[in-house]
Amino acid sequence: MTDMDEARIYDDRRRETVAYLATGRGVATVQVASDRVGRFALVHRCVARDVAAAADRVCAATPEGVLAADAAWSDAGAAGERAAPDRAEFESLGFPDAVAVTMSDGAVLAADADGTVARHRDDAWEAVGAVEEVRALSNDLVAASDGVYRPVGGDLRNVGLDAVRDVAGTGVPLAATDDGLYRLGNGWLSEREGTFAVVGAGIVDGGPEERAHAATAETLYARDGDEWGPVDLPVEGAVADVAYGECVYTVTEDGTFLVEADPERTADGTGGWRHRSLGLPEVAALAAV
């Protein structure tokens, strides 16, 4: 197993990123420095259905409720200031049978198996609304079986589409649906046809613009300008989620973690995709800090 404590993997261009995974065995962490996928650990045993992270906190959606922990140190020099990634201690925030969770504007937004969406702030849950079936949350967007919703005036408002599998609420909203990939502009605009299950967007450290990816059961796509093209991954398997930090990170449902490193951030200057099998089943979500 790669030793991420080796001083040689850190230089002025590299910091350590901690990725959190929601898996069928629990919440796991993976330590990554540039293109090096290092130590990983199962830090909380449960059935984790979703995971979200902000600068200093990580939350997981589980059948027992929403769990929260301080985010692990994400820089080699901060090990004495935050808990190490393999020692994250989760506490329950309540809200049982949670299926999805996100973090936005200092609050936690979660959904349960009955379609109820609630916001946690000041140590209390406040119901936002209910829909037929929540499939994903991102910032203030709700992906549901009958469309995309947004909290408006103490309720959830349908803002279009149908059979939505995932949403990306960073920057220009994106939605993955059973019949295509959509971007919110003057209404929902079709980006690409197909049955999409995953969509994500975010800024890579030092990058000039937002990156975006989307996946069908067979193919991961990346946005380049106004076009979407397939990504040639070095492994097979359906993509479960995508996250952004120092690099682009993705993970397959069967537990292979991948990082796309810029050539300038790698020791050999080649860049490209690196991967490692984690041996964790039923991976559902990924977040990075």
CATH superfamily of 7-288: YVTN repeat-like/Quinoprotein amine dehydrogenase (2.130.10.10)
pLDDT score, position 78: 44
Distance of alpha carbon 281 from alpha carbon 31, whole angstroms = 19
pLDDT tens for residues 140-196?
999 999 999 999 988 999 999 999 999 999 889 999 999 999 999 999 999 999 999
Q: Which residues contact 218 (CB under 8 A, 6 or more apart)?
A: 238
**Is residue 92 within 8 Å of residue 34, measured between CB atoms?**
no
Q: Phi and psi dihedrals of 48, rounded to 5?
A: -90, 120
Burial class (CB in 10 A: 0-12, 13-18, 19+), 8: exposed
Mean pLDDT of the chain: 89
Q: Give Cα separations from 112 to 92, 100, 144, 185, 216 (angstroms).
A: 15, 7, 12, 29, 25
pLDDT at position 164, please? 98
CB atoms within 10 A of CB 7: 7
Strands 248-252 and 239-244: antiparallel
Confidence of residue 89 (pLDDT cuts 50, 70, 90): confident
The answer to whether 67 and 46 have CB atoms below 8 angstroms apart is yes
Q: What per-residue confidence (pLDDT) applies to 132?
A: 93
Contact indicator for 183, 172 with CB cutoff of 8 Å: yes
* Whole-number Cα distances in Å, 200 to 15, 74, 168, 254: 22, 21, 5, 19
pLDDT of residue 77: 44
pLDDT interval class at 104 (50, 70, 90) = confident
The span from the CA of 50 to the CA of 73, in Å, is 21
Is the pLDDT at 17 greater than 60, yes or no? yes
Between 10 and 27, where is the model more confident?
A: 27
- 3-class DSSP state of 42: strand
> Is 45 within 8 Å of 58 (Cβ atoms)?
no
Q: What is the pLDDT of residues 212-251, one digit of tens each?
A: 999 999 999 999 988 999 999 999 999 999 999 989 999 9
Q: How confident is the model at residue 139 (pLDDT cuts 50, 70, 90)?
A: very high
pTM of the model: 0.89
**pLDDT value of position 8:** 37
pLDDT at 84: 60
Alpha-carbon dihedral sign for residues 200, 201, 207, 208? positive
For residues 61 and 55, what is the distance between their CA atoms, to the nearest angstrom? 18
Instruction: Convert the pLDDT of each residue in 43-82 to its tens digit.
Output: 999 999 999 998 789 999 999 999 999 986 544 444 445 5
